[in-house]
Amino acid sequence: MSDDPRRPLRSRPRRNRKSPAVRDLCRETTLTVGNLVYPVFLHEADGDEPLSSLPGRTRYGLDGLVREATRVSALGIRSIVLFPAVPEDQKTSDGREAANPDGLVPRALRRLRAECPELTLITDVALDPYNSDGHDGIVADDGRILNDETVEVLCRQAVTQARAGADIIAPSDMMDGRVGAIRDALDADGHHEVSILSYTAKYASAFYGPFRGALDSAPKSGDKKTYQMDPGNAREALRELALDEAEGADMVMVKPAGPYLDVIRALRESTPLPVAAYQVSGEYLMIKAAAASGWLDERSVALESLLGIRRAGAEVIFTYFAPEVAEWLA
């Protein structure tokens, strides 16, 4: 290249940006509705309740859940994940309601399986919605989270969900060895086709606050740092990945997404398995709040944030923006 204005430049990257059609031809990463999973909240009440902690999102009764599932399916969304808000009187220290075949999630699965058969149904496996202590596992008298005792309950929970119609089981608890134990339990009960999407690298993040408000599932004491990953660690995610692969995970996840794009990339480069990422409630709420204040354009920023997650290497994105994105992309 020369500063001489009489000498033409041979290489001009701007030529590949000169029109919308050319930019489309040259685009390296695309975002489609098929990449998205829509997280949906449900509760035991008959009616639906707008969530103050997640503007634009709702906690549904079973009838409302079916209506919402039908609506988003018509938009092209093909996968939803269910998160239950369990009444306080159903919460116990051992989280046994998680494996109740007549519990909220199994009943929701049976309704959705019958009325929205085109949807892929994903379920969360963890004890925090069902645990009177608000933790993902059983809490010992001295405050420790009991790993192996928790895994036994998680296996019963996973089998209960599979029997009710779940297509994909997504353990988010971060107990050691739970993927292999759940795989064995599912196979022993004949659910060989039910997939496991493991929360492989779930960090002890400050971005989960609005979600815990939506489910009333915050820990009653202590925190989750003894089982969720330290935000300063990236190599540790590869150790978790190796274990999940060996134990039979079909897909692996990084949560949260935006602050951990480097971890998404590290997993993408280290495994042939599909990589998922969860754009969590705090990420969603920051965009919504800034847009409501007039500082950001919600549509542009939401789409750019999701494209960045895709570019980092995630094929699957859990996002509360899913219905809006489906409409925008259409």
Close Cβ partners of 70 (under 8 Å, ≥ 6 residues apart): 115, 116
Active site residue: 91, 202, 224, 288, which one? Answer: 202
Q: Across-strand partners of 37?
A: 318
Is the Cα torsion angle 241, 242, 243, 247 positive or negative in sign? positive
How many C-beta neighbours within 10 Å does residue 55 have? 15
Burial class (CB in 10 A: 0-12, 13-18, 19+), 12: exposed
Tokens of 142: 């001295």
Is the Cα torsion angle 275, 281, 283, 287 positive or negative in sign? positive
Q: Is 134 left (phi over 0), alpha (psi -120 to 50) or beta?
A: left
Distance (Å, whole) CA 316 – CA 297: 24
202 among known catalytic residues:
yes
224 among known catalytic residues:
no
**Stated length of the chain:** 330
For tokens 């039908």, name the residue. Answer: 70
Tokens of 195: 């997939």
Beta strand 49-50 with 58-60: parallel, antiparallel or unpaired? antiparallel
Tokens of 65: 């859940």
Active site residue: 91, 224, 255, 288, which one? Answer: 255
Query: 296, 196, 207: which is closest to 249 by C-alpha?
Result: 196
**Residues labelled catalytic:** 202, 255
